[in-house]
Amino acid sequence: MGKGWVALLMGVTVTLAAGMFLSPSSVAQVPTLGRNVKVGIVDTYSGPPAVFSNDALNGFKLALGEINRDGVLGARIEFVTRDERFSPEIGLSMARELILQERVDLLVGTINSATALAISALAREQKIPFIVWISKSEAITGAQGHRYVFSTTENTAMAGKALAEYFARKPFLRFWIGAEDYEYGHAITNSFWRFMKRAKPEATLAGQTWWRTGEPDLVPYLTSIMAGRPEAAFFGTGGAGMANVLRTMLTVGFAERVPSAIHTAIDFTALRPLGLNVPEGVTGTTDYLWYYPETPANQAFVRAFQAAYGTPPGFPAFHGYNTAYFIAEAIRKARSLDREKIIDALEGLRIRSPVGEVEMRACDHQVIYPIIAGVTKKNLQLNAIVAANPVILRGADVMPTCEDVARARRR
Amino acid sequence: MDLQVIGSQLLVGLSRAMILFIVSAGLSFVLGVLRVPNVFHGSLYMIGAFAAFTIATGLGSNAAGLWLALLAAPLAGAVVGLVVERALLSRLYEREHLMLILFTWGIMLILNDVVKLIWGADYRSVLAPPILRGAAHILGAAVPRYNLFLLLVGPLVAVGMWAFTHKTRLGRMARAAAVDREMVGVLGIDVSRILAAAFLVGSYLAGLGGALVAPTTSITLGMDHTIIIEAFLIVTIGGLGNLWGALVGALLFGVTQSLGLLIWPQFAIVFPYAATVLVLLVRPTGLLRSVW
């Protein structure tokens, strides 16, 4: 056989080999998952927190619609969901049922921090990935974090630090804390005050007032805080409880007399039911606003969400949307439904979100989001309360360091 | 501590007590006349609050609409109460109390879902009529005008209930039925209608409490749970079935909560409950005479 024949044969062989990888037929060679992906969601769909849980679920569904158009390695992502009625015991039994009966590949939930921590322990025991998408207790990926739990929401460590650093720029020294007596109330309060003392060591605590979750009448609480004549107040409360604080502030003229800060006080989902009945000038923080920043990606997300659900997305929808993309991208990267491989793929994974690229930090499984700070202001054009003069604080700057997290986990 | 501060905090506590009294008076009246510990009384309060939202927003949240909401929304609680009483509860009056508690508990869970179906899971918000917004300055202290309005409504309801039970034929028959239902029946009076009317009045008071609280708070699913616990504690420390006992219990509850906030704000949450325990230790049947 002459050299010409050898060259020709080699050329054909190389072309065929390359074709195996590059031709459309090579797609069929990519290992498919063989079955659809099943996600089990446990969240609160009864009572006031349902506003947030439904928003998150809608964001998740919107993303699944986009993802399932082409599928993930030949499969679709499906989900089943359960109402834990804001009870850790119920949430835990539902998560167990989803793992054992429904045989889900991943767990997602919940707005209730206490439930999230309970399910997190179960996920560790059952070795199944659990992605927390609304509840914000820093213990979830901090002190009680582990290999099987992830968070696609900002946490109280990030929010408390962002709010403290932003609020510390103002000339207040004598603070009062008013908070709701539950997991989130304690977590956000501890974080805010810890970072406020770090940012401004001379700050003092004039007093603390705590009330039970769902306390209907906050007038005596806020009037007693005003009687203590603090220079500023921080409120550790969220959702309907926070809305109640804002309403009562308006009734007793609190905001005009005591400058106040609340995480999520500028959040669209929490403010929507109040219309314009919110005091102006209250400092707030959030990790997502549908109207800011005005990037094409965010505007496209808002348009799609509004077309699907008739309202702009709140922060839970943003988290739900990102959660779906984290799951899809992790499975694509893992090329498998093996739980350990999915976890490995999630660590350090970056996805394109409506506000730009976001990363799932490998060391603690906590998503890195920028935090937006601003003060409440009426916007008659939008007929809503918006954040005036918003400032974006870099996610990496407001997160605890990996060493901090490791230390907290050792404790 | 500043006397002005104590005075204004006392007024705020008294006004909170008025809402508690109105709801507890309804519960106490039903307990006294029908012998029914009505757990879904809190649901009727919640329905009153949501109905106030619907009426106020339906009429554009103008001053007239807000006043109409306060006046008409309690009827929603009254009507729902009457329907449940006529359709279901009236068949169970002879059952033991545990059965009645479980039954009314079940109705509470169902009504919670009905409210969710009608109004959704979002929390809602209603403004007070314009004249009642903002704060009034009394002896130099700022007190919300709406709270002062509640301080007028509470005593009016107390006097109205006293007049109803003592000065009207229906009220007197209801009192008689509370003492001896069989005797009233023997006299040829339709006891069933008396009981229905008493339940209607109790339900109206629950709805009135809900409508009155609406401008002061976020209207949410679950607000029934909080109020029903407080209302049961109040009628217990006041004396079961005793109208004035409900007033005394509500005042004790509201004032200890409010003044406790000035004394020990971090743990003020326990003051009303500590007062309740203390009363029950000293007088297990309540501060005033129980009609049971």
The answer, yes or no, to whether residue A9 has pLDDT greater than 60, is no
Q: What is the mean pLDDT of chain B?
A: 91
B16 contacts A273? CB cut-off 8 A? no
Nearest Cα residue to A215 out of B116, B27, B230, B203: B230
Q: List the single residue in B221, B223, B266 with the smallest CB-CB distance to A209.
A: B266
| H/E run at residue A394 | none
Task: Report the distance separating Cα A37 and Cα A384, nearest Å.
Answer: 39
The larger pLDDT score, comparing residue A122 to residue A10, is at A122
| Helix residue ranges per DSSP H, A235-295 | 239-252, 254-257, 268-271
With a CB cutoff of 8 Å and minimum separation 6, the contacts of B55 are: B65, B68, B69, B72, B73
- Residue pLDDT, tens place only, B195-210: 999 999 999 999 999 9
Task: Report the distance separating Cα A4 and Cα B82, nearest Å.
Answer: 101
Of the listed ranges A56-70, A308-322, B141-155, the one predicted with least confidence: B141-155
pLDDT of residue A17: 47
* Chain A residues contacting B via beta carbons under 8 Å: 45-48, 50-51, 54, 181, 207-212, 214-221, 223-228, 240, 243-244, 247-248, 251-253, 272-275, 277
* CB contacts < 8 A (A, B): 131
Of the listed ranges A49-63, A241-255, A276-290, B147-161, the one predicted with least confidence: A241-255
Distances (CA, A) of B204 to A315, B67, B125: 40, 17, 21
Q: What is the mean pLDDT of chain A?
A: 90
Q: List the single residue in B122, B144, B227 with the smallest CB-CB distance to A51.
A: B122
The answer, yes or no, to whether residue A256 has pLDDT greater than 60, is yes
**What tokens were used for A138?**
């820093």
- Residue of chain B minimizing CA distance to A216: B217
Q: List the single residue in A47, A208, A277 with the smallest CB-CB distance to B265.
A: A208
- Residue of chain B minimizing CA distance to A215: B226
pLDDT of residue A6: 52
Closest-CA distance, B139 to chain A, in angstroms, reads 14
At A7, the pLDDT band (50, 70, 90 cuts) reads: low
Closest-CA distance, A175 to chain B, in angstroms, reads 14
Mean pLDDT calculated for residue range A367-395: 92
- Residue pLDDT, tens place only, B43-98: 999 999 999 999 999 988 788 999 999 999 999 999 999 999 999 999 988 888 89
At A5, the pLDDT band (50, 70, 90 cuts) reads: low
A223 contacts B218? CB cut-off 8 A? no
pLDDT of residue A4: 56
Chain B interface, mutation test: which of A45, A223, A258, A385, most B Cβ atoms within 10 Å? A223
Closest-CA distance, B181 to chain A, in angstroms, reads 38
The answer, yes or no, to whether residue B217 has pLDDT greater than 80, is yes
At A19, the pLDDT band (50, 70, 90 cuts) reads: very low
- Residue pLDDT, tens place only, A178-202: 999 988 899 899 999 999 999 999 9
- Residue pLDDT, tens place only, A266-324: 998 888 888 888 999 999 999 999 999 899 999 999 999 999 999 999 999 999 999 99
